[in-house]
Amino acid sequence: MSNFSDESPGCYTEHGVSGYGVAAKISRSEPMTEDFVKSMAESMMLTIAGKCMELGAKCIGHIKSHLRTEAGTIKADTIGVGHGSYSSGRLEHPVRDVFIAINSIVQGIPEDAVKAATLEGMHDVAGQNGLFVVKEKEHTYFDEFDFTASKQDYIKQLSEQLDMDQDR
């Protein structure tokens, strides 16, 4: 297995494709219903896509998000403003806290621009919906936890991971 190296540059860079990922905890004092979270997430995806295009992107590969809560998971994504956005998943009851991960892959602008569009879009839409970003960390995902844990432990694991990542 020595013919290939894991250190070669990515094939996508020569095609002008850049990516950026961020994870955050966003909260609101008033509980949010499933419909509210889905609508907010869809709006966030479209806003990020729109901002990327404003910054000169030629094509949106995808803007994807995964929103974990104590009541279930919502997924939302778009492949461009003109294509609309789509969400799926269920929340068993309204929630105050959402752990969101966003992955933006865009063609035609550098990573810094994708980062700016992603963060601005996240903050703008969160603010418009009465949410505030409690914590955020780039290039992070909540993947070190147990799906079968109790709700309290599950949320504790997500919070701890975000705190741990901030310490890195």
Interface ranges with another protein (CB under 8 A)? 1-12, 14-17, 19-23, 58-62, 64-66, 73, 75, 77, 79-80, 83, 101-105, 107, 139-141, 143, 147
Q: At closest approach, how far in Å is the CB of 39 from another protein? A: 19
Helix, strand, coil percentages, rounded to 5, for the chain: 40, 35, 25
Q: At closest approach, how far in Å is the CB of 108 from another protein? A: 8
Task: Select 111 or 124, whichever has its Cβ closest to another protein.
Answer: 111
Task: Select 22 or 48, whichever has its Cβ closest to another protein.
Answer: 22
Task: Select 12 or 132, whichever has its Cβ closest to another protein.
Answer: 12
Q: At closest approach, how far in Å is the CB of 147 from another protein? A: 7
- Read off the DSSP letter of residue 6: T
The region that residue 91 occupies, defined by phi over 0 for left and psi between -120 and 50 for alpha, beta otherwise, is beta
Q: Name which of 17, 8, 3 is nearest 60 in CA terms.
A: 17
Task: Select 75 or 96, whichever has its Cβ closest to another protein.
Answer: 75
Please state, in angstroms and rounded to a whole number, the distance separating the CA atoms of residues 36 and 32.
Answer: 6
Residue the block writes with tokens 């070190």? 144
Which helix (DSSP H) or strand (DSSP E) does residue 134 occupy?
strand 132-138
Task: Select 105 or 131, whichever has its Cβ closest to another protein.
Answer: 105
Q: At closest approach, how far in Å is the CB of 130 from another protein? A: 25
CB atoms < 10 A from the CB of 66, how many?
19
Q: At closest approach, how far in Å is the CB of 91 from another protein? A: 15
